[in-house]
Structure 1
Amino acid sequence: MSTTKSKHPKGLYYLFFSEMWERFGFYLMLAIFFLYMIDAQNGGLGLSKENASDIFGTFIAFVYLTPFVGGLLADRVLGYRLAISIGGILMAIGYIGLALPGDLAMVASLGLIIIGNGFFKPNISTLLGGLYSTPEYQDQKDTGYNIFYMGINLGAFIAPFVASYLRNNYGWGYAFAAAGVGMLLGVLIFWLGNKHYKEADVRKPVAANDMPLMRIFGIVILPAVIAGVLGWVLIPGDIFGSNSTDAFIFGAIPIMVFYGSLWAKASAEDKRPIAALLSIFAVVIVFWAIFKQNGTALTTWAEYYTDREMAEGLTGPAGAIGMVQNVDQSLATVPDYDQNFRARTDAEGKVITKEGVAPYLNNLPKQDWPQEGKPLSLISTELFQSINPFFVILLTPLVVWFFTMLRRRGKEPSTPAKIMWGLVITAMSTLVMVGAVFASMNGAEKSSALWLVGSYAVITIGELFLSPMGLSLVSKLSPPRLTALMMGGWFLATSIGNKLSGVLASMWDKYDHKAYFFLVNCAGSLLAAFAIFLMLKWLRQIVQEHTGKS
């Protein structure tokens, strides 16, 4: 029977562009945030890599922690459209606030982005799912999410190019402000499509078994906040490396205890699937700890150790779109740092340096240095942040085809096995960087940019094996009344991994031979994969029991 109905609801396209612009702002900010913090020559904060890595890891940890609260408030109180609007506006203000000078402005802005993301990120995805809840569109739900995911990666791909153009030509503040403008465009597009998803904005009724909202705040969120504050203020000696790390770990303990209590109090029927999910959550922390080093350790490798010199014929066109960063040995310097990790300055406010040359020139042969006053044209470091979303767009259809082909032959791995292989592939990506270290003689020479491209390509395959499969496993195994809470557990694991990525990256300068840094990451990923391998039979049985499939 023929039909004239659209394959997808009209609201999808408004949500697609809203999310594209939101991710544009978020990834523009992430592409330059670490570089902004370590820059001491061109208006940055002049922080050490260790301190900047710690701040970066703490920020992305909290970004993935607040969706639990934002989703809960939208479900029970605010509704999805209001929560998304509040989140988008808060994030826009936060991005623009990063353009302002001073530590207070930065801390307040990061706080607004963290809170705003908690309201925006989980609820726009939930609202999209509501559009496909009717029989008319239900069969197209997976395809709709694939289209939506492309919007995420399209925004993430474009963002570093805009960031590079603005920060090279106008300064850091303009680049951060552009992220805010992008976010406001996303909110505007969202409002324009309001009528198309009004009916999907339905608050979930509280079921008899649901924990009251105030009880969740009282026994989970409030204790987490108190423990975090105490970890920051009262714990002496930076037990886990820094005040922020102490605060995060102590703050996470009440939440982890809460998830443990869910398992302890669960019925016999729910105990096994909850145990399986908690086991997966614990293991995938390692993946996020490695994956999220793209903004810290891999950015450091791109900035200092990668051959970024532009071919002479490409300099003009590349400069026109902001790909070129100019380095002059007479202008740029390597700063020295005080005990608070701030760049030292003399009485006139000039930065005191350990070396009188640009950092990029430190491991470049003297004969290849530019003449004084003649800048060297380099590919901007943040452009390497476009590689991962590019490969997501390129490789997603190939990975989907690969699993479809295996399914037809009856050889498709189980969902837990896919996660295991994702960790193995992630370990392989770190070995690519070990190769880069040896090819560059431990950073004594510049390494080819192809090493970084290769590492990003490999870890993107690992991401496509692991991340969607983890979300799928949560939807498969969660008891219906606990689905939102268990999805919050996935975000908690992501958050802890993100924080750990900053902790690991902060140790960069402690490794004399950088191969050991990447080998530690490799060992962690392989150990995590081995842990799943040991649980594989048990996990398959549980998935089989609850879905009829492995």
Structure 2
Amino acid sequence: MWNKHPKALPYLFLSEMWERFGYYLMIGIFTLYLKDVEAGYAMTEKEASDLYGTFIALVFLTPFIGGLVADRYLGYRKSIVIGGLLMGVGYFLMGFHSLTMLYTAMTLVIVGNGFFKPNISTLLGNFYNDAQYKDKKDEGYNIFYMGINVGAFICNFFGAAFKILFGWKYAFMAAGVGMFIGVVIFLLGTKHYGDKTDKKGTQPGDMPFYKIVLFILLPSVVFGIIGWMIKGVASDANPDSYIFGSDSTDAFIFACIPVILFYASLYFRAKPDEKRPIGALLAIFGVVILFWAVFKLNGSALNNWGDKYTDRQLEGKSQQIASKLILVDTLTYKKDSVALYDEAFRIQKADGKVIKTYDYPLYFRNVHKEKLPEDGSKVYTWSANLSQSINPGWVIILTPLVVAFFTFLRQRQKEPTTPTKIAFGLLISALSVLVMVAAVQAGSNGAEKVGVWWLVANYGVITIGELFLSPMGLSIVSKLSPTKITSLMMGGWFLATSIGNKLSGVLASMWDSYTNKADFFWVNFGLLMFATLLMFALLKQLNKVMAEKGIR
């Protein structure tokens, strides 16, 4: 496989694999940690989902500036190393139980990802711009994407083991170690990078950096502050008079406005031969926002589903094997303490202070009465964060099949264009949501736990859609972007991801407001079908632009 691709690919593959090991290990335990009453921050589902959504949104917003700085000033090698080191330190700090330390750690991860993420993707594309590799770009990004998911698959087993053995702190530190390994592997491949990591410098017609600070970054900060402070109309449903659901959401959406206007200005200021490709990319960016909004529920709503609504009990051989691998949580059932609360704690007031007291393991809330254990007995469950490995596991299994499928079509001159792949990716992703609608019905709207196979099936379908869309998005940015702003446009792809991620947090924070949980998933289905129809409507024009550039 490797001999038909650039020699740098294995190093970039392994660097990204270990970087994603750290990131997804952290994401897999993040909301579980925030909601942990005893060792975490005892946040409600809404509070944890809102912070999660804001965090992953900002993680993918900073690539906008990180790509620009790499293009003009630092080059790709320095930017990737700096980003990796910042993220590694951030993971180490995240486990120290202090809100100040938590927010400091989150900031380091957000800034570090801005330097790392767009630039390693752009660097990969630079190698496939050479004539001998040009027709293998989509395949190269698919292989690269599999590296992402190898890291995302194995990390949750380490996260579960470290959390069970040593606690949350050391699980986060394991993420940091993974990130540092990724940096070392990247540096080992330096001899294969040649001049591909060099900065492009400021090009004629580029906006000076001080103008970017004055007209984009500074306005974003100002708009964000306005969004945080401004209030909407108060009502019974919105007593705090938020505009979009919370102060952080309001601030984020307002802060995005100057950045979105900047990307729109790239189209209007572009040269005639660059205008249509940039316009095509901006259209795709707009459509895929809704994909990410639903897909990124894996770390919030679907993580919650795996934690509270999935039967995770282990018995017999499976329990023995999981115990040896240190992947088992031990819960004690106490009949007298069981009460049907929506959360794992009760809020009480004493002397003017709010005290959150732990009542019982929430796992037992919706176990069928006939399946409840004897009073005082122990129950063994696989660690909830392991459900986060289902999606990357499917990616590892399905990527070779998808690559082979498109290779088969390419050899017969029938391979669909990259925009067409994205359109079908959206459609397949929409169909995956119907699996969760059925899961809700099977569990009598959450009154009873359901088997893990519902999550496996959901992730299996959406993974096919993901493989049609996500690596293709990276590929099309590399194909269509004007050379001087490739990293900047890659930052635009991650800006769309960022907005989708925040919308994902908003959706997840509404989970408790849906009496019928199926309605939550029907909303997600509607969003993806809208995006699908929009993408198919744009397809003719997008394919025309691709043809004009002589690419597929």
Length-normalised TM-score, structure 1: 0.90
**What is the SS of the residue equivalent to 1:167?**
helix
* 8 Å CA contact 2:329, 2:383 repeated in 1: yes
1:255 aligns to 2:251 (yes or no): no
Percent of residue pairs identical: 53
The aligned residue for residue 35 of structure 1 is 32
What CA distance in whole angstroms lies between the structure 2 residues aligned with 1:112 and 1:39? 23
Cα-to-partner distance string for 1:157-178 (whole Å, 9 max, x where unaligned): 1100011111122211111111
Name whichever of 486-495 and 298-307 sits farther off: 486-495
The amino acid of 1:352's aligned partner reads T
The aligned residue for residue 59 of structure 2 is 63
What CA distance in whole angstroms lies between the structure 2 residues aligned with 1:342 and 1:189? 48
Superposition deviation, residue 476 in structure 1: 3.3
1:325 aligns to 2:316 (yes or no): no
Structure 2 unaligned regions, length at least 5? 233-240
1:284 aligns to 2:281 (yes or no): no
1:187 aligns to 2:183 (yes or no): yes
**Out of 431, 443, 447, which is 2:446 matched to?**
443
What CA distance in whole angstroms lies between the structure 2 residues aligned with 1:72 and 1:381? 39
The amino acid of 1:507's aligned partner reads M
Structure 2 matches for 1:143-542, cutoff 5 A?
Answer: 145-197=141-193, 199-235=195-231, 237-330=241-334, 351-352=356-357, 356-409=359-412, 411-542=414-545
* 8 Å CA contact 2:347, 2:354 repeated in 1: no
What CA distance in whole angstroms lies between the structure 2 residues aligned with 1:334 and 1:86? 48
What CA distance in whole angstroms lies between the structure 1 residues aligned with 2:181 and 2:265? 42
Cα-to-partner distance string for 1:183-210 (whole Å, 9 max, x where unaligned): 2222333344445546543121332232
What CA distance in whole angstroms lies between the structure 1 residues aligned with 2:338 and 2:11? 45
* 8 Å CA contact 1:99, 1:177 repeated in 2: yes
**What is the SS of the residue equivalent to 2:333?**
coil
**What is the SS of the residue equivalent to 2:313?**
coil
What CA distance in whole angstroms lies between the structure 1 residues aligned with 2:182 and 2:68? 23
* 8 Å CA contact 1:232, 1:243 repeated in 2: yes
Counterparts in 2 of 1:471 and 1:92: CA distance versus 1, 3 Å: closer
Counterparts in 2 of 1:36 and 1:93: CA distance versus 1, 3 Å: same
Counterparts in 2 of 1:329 and 1:346: CA distance versus 1, 3 Å: farther
Structure 2 matches for 1:102-117, cutoff 5 A?
Answer: 102-117=98-113
Counterparts in 2 of 1:404 and 1:502: CA distance versus 1, 3 Å: same
* 8 Å CA contact 2:122, 2:478 repeated in 1: no
What CA distance in whole angstroms lies between the structure 2 residues aligned with 1:373 and 1:418? 54
What CA distance in whole angstroms lies between the structure 2 residues aligned with 1:455 and 1:239? 32
What CA distance in whole angstroms lies between the structure 1 residues aligned with 2:458 and 2:253? 30
* 8 Å CA contact 2:340, 2:365 repeated in 1: no
Counterparts in 2 of 1:9 and 1:181: CA distance versus 1, 3 Å: same
Counterparts in 2 of 1:73 and 1:140: CA distance versus 1, 3 Å: same
Superposition deviation, residue 54 in structure 1: 0.7
The aligned residue for residue 89 of structure 2 is 93
The amino acid of 1:315's aligned partner reads Q
**What is the SS of the residue equivalent to 1:325?**
strand
Structure 2 matches for 1:100-139, cutoff 5 A?
Answer: 100-129=96-125
What CA distance in whole angstroms lies between the structure 2 residues aligned with 1:130 and 1:269? 21
What CA distance in whole angstroms lies between the structure 2 residues aligned with 1:168 and 1:72? 41
**What is the SS of the residue equivalent to 2:366?**
coil
* 8 Å CA contact 1:336, 1:343 repeated in 2: no
Counterparts in 2 of 1:93 and 1:81: CA distance versus 1, 3 Å: same
What is the RMSD of the two structures over their aligned residues, measured on CA atoms?
2.9
**What is the SS of the residue equivalent to 1:413?**
coil
Superposition deviation, residue 71 in structure 1: 1.9
The amino acid of 1:391's aligned partner reads W
What CA distance in whole angstroms lies between the structure 2 residues aligned with 1:298 and 1:382? 10
What CA distance in whole angstroms lies between the structure 1 residues aligned with 2:24 and 2:423? 28
Structure 1 unaligned regions, length at least 5? none
* 8 Å CA contact 1:346, 1:352 repeated in 2: no
The amino acid of 2:108's aligned partner reads L
What CA distance in whole angstroms lies between the structure 1 residues aligned with 2:340 and 2:107? 30
Cα-to-partner distance string for 1:316-346 (whole Å, 9 max, x where unaligned): 22012122112212499988889xx996586
**What is the SS of the residue equivalent to 1:424?**
helix
What CA distance in whole angstroms lies between the structure 2 residues aligned with 1:87 and 1:342? 41
Counterparts in 2 of 1:270 and 1:18: CA distance versus 1, 3 Å: closer
Counterparts in 2 of 1:6 and 1:417: CA distance versus 1, 3 Å: closer
Superposition deviation, residue 30 in structure 1: 0.4
What CA distance in whole angstroms lies between the structure 2 residues aligned with 1:336 and 1:100? 28
Superposition deviation, residue 380 in structure 1: 1.2
Superposition deviation, residue 13 in structure 1: 3.8
Cα-to-partner distance string for 1:348-389 (whole Å, 9 max, x where unaligned): 997435xx4421111112332223332211121111111111
**What is the SS of the residue equivalent to 2:549?**
helix
Counterparts in 2 of 1:315 and 1:55: CA distance versus 1, 3 Å: same
Superposition deviation, residue 228 in structure 1: 1.2
The aligned residue for residue 19 of structure 1 is 16
**What is the SS of the residue equivalent to 1:536?**
helix
Counterparts in 2 of 1:408 and 1:92: CA distance versus 1, 3 Å: closer
- Choose between structure 1 and 2 for higher RCO, CA contacts under 8 A separated by at least 6 residues: 2
Cα-to-partner distance string for 1:45-85 (whole Å, 9 max, x where unaligned): 11011111111111111111111211221222223232222
What CA distance in whole angstroms lies between the structure 1 residues aligned with 2:216 and 2:83? 22
* Pairs aligned (count): 540
* 8 Å CA contact 1:20, 1:151 repeated in 2: yes
Name whichever of 289-298 and 132-141 sits farther off: 132-141
What CA distance in whole angstroms lies between the structure 2 residues aligned with 1:142 and 1:413? 11
Superposition deviation, residue 133 in structure 1: 6.7
What CA distance in whole angstroms lies between the structure 2 residues aligned with 1:459 and 1:206? 40
Superposition deviation, residue 134 in structure 1: 6.7
**What is the SS of the residue equivalent to 1:77?**
helix
**What is the SS of the residue equivalent to 1:376?**
strand
Counterparts in 2 of 1:504 and 1:177: CA distance versus 1, 3 Å: same
Length-normalised TM-score, structure 2: 0.90
What CA distance in whole angstroms lies between the structure 2 residues aligned with 1:48 and 1:271? 47
